[in-house]
A and B are shown apart, each in its own frame.
Chain A
Amino acid sequence: MFFLTYLRRELRRRMRQAIFIAIGLAIGIGLVITVMGASSGVKAAQAKVLRALYGIGTDVTVTTKPTPPKGAQGSVPISSGKATPGGPGGNGSHAQACINGKCYTSGTIDTLDSGDYGPLSSTTIAKIAQLKHVSAAAGGLVLTDNRIVLPTGSSSRLTPPTSVSVNGTDISHPKLGPLSNASLTMGRTFTAADKDAYVAVVDSNYATVHKLHVKDTVTLANKKFTIVGIVTQPQASSPPSVYIPLARAQALASNPATGKSMNNLVNTVYVTAASASDIGAVQKELAHLLPQATITSSSDLASEITGSAASAAKLAGALGRWLAVLVLIAAFAVASLLTMAAVARRVPEFGTLKALGWRSSRIVSQVLGESVATGIVGGLAGVGLGFAGVAIIDKIAPKLSASIPSANGGTGPTTHVAGGPGGASLVSPAATHTTIAVPMSASVTVGAIVLAVLLAVAGGLVAGSFGGWRAARLRPAAALARVA
């Protein structure tokens, strides 16, 4: 009680100085919170991108490089108009397209291709699932449906080919893979009964563009799939347009290396580690099991993300953090110096208290108490400043962009188009990097507030320790001599 009375009175006497110290600490702590808020906002934006690429529960993906196709397999040379009949690239009167060794002169060619990644067998998934630090593993097929309509009769006009990104989804592992991150907006998602059914879930953007609804159909590899649901992926993503059951995808997709179907094959394995700290161990285990495979963790992928989001992350992570640390150190130093100066002015007072029999520890705790109280006031003000700083960042922060490696969209076979109106051109169904807008929302976390309070108390303790140390060393006689 006496402790608090003395503390309150002393702080009231030195109100200006206490306010000055508190403001210094508040600025430092406010800056720390703001930087943490901005940093967490950028990280959250990045995580959104990563989640969209991987799905929420996926820590690591395993892919392999595709085996180069034999001969002309895998490419689709198309000739049209005045091509020499049967001669690819010539100037006959009929278009001709050759896919995986087969040539077509009319009709619609609709193939489901796995171009970017090489095949992995189902047994590989089982082996991965059995690894020590792996919690779950599921396979998927990242595919592209390429559709080419060859001109008929005397028409020499070639309709540009279309391509749709398709994901063969393992229905038995709904928490792994790209679909795990999606929100259902209409209809339903896959059930166990859909394993071999011609059903599809489509992305809302794709559905909007193509005016698709539940119960409508989409055609993939010349097969009609009934849409059972429409899903939305996070804004900062480039999701597949259509999801179909893995078994259907395996039956319909063609292996670019062999030209055969991909039964019992996948081209991506989504892996969940037993815990976040096990991701490194999982990567090592996978590298040992599959030395030829490409093993990508979310942090690997994060490092591949470029653009303003990455720059902002670096800015918040490096410059912001150091700025906050410097301001904090300055605030602590000023608080310490002012506290020591205050103790110096109170030497006779402490000398008198020592003469009265007060323990040094009691005097030190009094000084510490005053400093910590100032620190807590500074900390609370700092939390307020931090909230204000975060709100300002939220208001004025420019929209970030991220250039991400395309993990979903398989590029499929490159389609060569010749003899069209524009002459020869190269059509790549999907780019390898996509630039997307990343909405950034800075926020103050509970962790930041706890850190602020700890910093405030630490600031008070540091300042009080210097002052208290000085007070403790006072000899009462020397202290009283100052009075005269």
Chain B
Amino acid sequence: MDITHETVPPPPTSLYRLAGVSKIYRKNGRDIPAVRDLDLEIRAGEWLAVQGKTGHGKSTLLQLLGGLDRPTAGRLEFAGHDLATGAETKIRKVRATSFGFIFQSFNLVPTLTAAENVEAALIPLGVPHHERREKTAAALDSVGLGDRAQHLPGELSGGQQQRVAIARALVKSPDVLLADEPSGNLDEDTRDEIIGLLDTLWRERGLTLILVTHDSAIARRAQRIGVMARGRLSIRQDTRA
């Protein structure tokens, strides 16, 4: 008798673990809760879209996940690293190695060329000069801007600038791509182009993509959609396997 053993896939690993995370800002003597009592797990390789109205804590959540800010309360771990109470040096290293950021306003250094902006992401990693050049060229090629390497941001269109920002986020091969309204400043065609590029990169590279957006059309491409309302997150869609 043949016994067929069904191969059981390993359980998906949790990259992020958030338990009771809150972030309260204090302004003029008043507490303003941006994120309230949030429990969340994010798997490696998943695409999570976060929607919500302006001022409901989407960007704050992204900053907490990116180690740019610390929660006021709760536990926040990324791949075993404590982003809530860990040493700033360690969090900075995690930021440098594991996170790639894409911002709505591109946030390119205006005095540096496209290539130098991308190269800037490799500076904290201590990558040798020639290797930086190679990786930068490859990253710009991957976003279709190999021929614009020596252009300053001011000489590029909005879409091209965002591509440079994506190349900058990708050049260090991060585990997570954190995008805050990446198409917010772009026209519809360029928006589709950029989101298409992110989709492709996510699929090809197995990145974890956390994307904050107002745009439901973009959010629908994600595996999970979470909605932030008054600092609380509720999951509306989950198509993960």
Contact = CB atoms under 8 A, between A and B. Distances in A.
Given A1-B129, A357-B95, A352 B109 contact: yes
Contacts of B92: 354, 357, 359
Contacts of A356: 95-96, 101, 120-121, 123-124, 168
A211 interface: no
A289 interface: no
A352 B121 CA distance: 10
Interface in A1-25: 1-2, 5-6, 9-10, 12-13
Interface string B154-172: 0000000000000010000
Contact of B123 (A2, A351, A475, A480): A2
Contact of B116 (A6, A352, A354, A355): A6
| B interface, size bucket | 20 to 34
Given A10-B111, A480-B68, A357 B103 contact: no
Contacts of A348: 105, 107
A47 interface: no
Nearest to A9: B111
Interface in A338-360: 348-349, 351-359
Nearest to A475: B69
Contacts of A357: 92-93, 95-97, 121, 124-125
B119 interface: yes
Given A5-B116, A6-B116, A356-B95, A349 B109 contact: yes
Interface string A182-217: 000000000000000000000000000000000000
B124 A6 contact: no
B124 A483 contact: no
B57 to A, nearest CB: 13
Contacts of B132: 2
Is chain A's binding surface mostly helix, strand, loop or mixed? Answer: helix
Interface string B94-124: 0111010101110111111000100111011
A483 B105 contact: yes
A2 B105 CA distance: 24
B234 interface: no
Contact of A352 (B103, B119, B124): B103
A476 B68 contact: yes
B120 A353 contact: yes
A414 B68 CA distance: 95
A393 B49 CA distance: 74
B169 to A, nearest CB: 9
A446 interface: no
A329 interface: no
A480 B111 contact: no
Query: Which of B99, B109, B110, B116 gathers most chain A CB within 10 Å?
Result: B109
Interface residues of A, number: 27
Interface in A349-389: 349, 351-359, 362
A6 B107 contact: no
A276 interface: no
Contacts of A5: 112, 116
A355 B111 contact: no
A1 B108 CA distance: 19
Contacts of B104: 483-484
Nearest to B178: A355
A6 B117 CA distance: 10
Query: Which of A351, A359, A477 gathers most chain B CB within 10 Å?
Result: A477
A6 B112 contact: yes
B182 interface: no
Contacts of B125: 357
B68 A358 contact: no
Contacts of B142: none
Contacts of A475: 68-69
A446 to B, nearest CB: 37
B66 interface: yes
Nearest to A355: B101
A36 B207 CA distance: 65
B103 A13 contact: no
B116 A12 contact: no
B63 interface: yes
Contacts of B108: 352
Query: Which of A13, A348, A357 gathers most chain B CB within 10 Å?
Result: A357
A343 to B, nearest CB: 14
A13 B63 contact: no
Given A13-B111, A356-B95, A475-B69, A480 B103 contact: yes
B107 A2 contact: no
B124 A359 contact: yes
B95 A6 contact: no
Interface in A448-484: 475-477, 480-481, 483-484
Interface in B82-97: 92-93, 95-97
A22 B92 CA distance: 35
Contacts of B93: 357
Given A2-B119, A357-B95, A357-B124, A477 B111 contact: no
Contacts of A359: 92, 124
Query: Which of B101, B121, B123 gathers most chain A CB within 10 Å?
Result: B123
Nearest to A10: B111
26 contacts: A1-B129, A2-B116, A2-B120, A2-B123, A2-B129, A351-B107, A352-B108, A353-B109, A355-B66, A355-B68, A355-B99, A355-B101, A356-B96, A356-B120, A356-B121, A356-B123, A356-B124, A356-B168, A359-B92, A359-B124, A362-B123, A475-B69, A476-B69, A480-B63, A480-B103, A483-B105
Interface of A: 1-2, 5-6, 9-10, 12-13, 348-349, 351-359, 362, 475-477, 480-481, 483-484
Interface of B: 59, 63, 66, 68-69, 92-93, 95-97, 99, 101, 103-105, 107-112, 116, 119-121, 123-125, 129, 132, 168
Given A356-B101, A484-B104, 20 more contacts: A1-B129, A2-B119, A2-B120, A2-B129, A6-B109, A6-B111, A6-B112, A9-B112, A12-B111, A13-B110, A348-B105, A352-B107, A356-B120, A356-B121, A356-B124, A357-B96, A357-B97, A359-B124, A480-B63, A480-B103
For the complex of A and B, list the 4 residue pairs with the smallest distance between their C-beta atoms, beginning with the closest. A357-B96, A357-B124, A9-B111, A477-B69
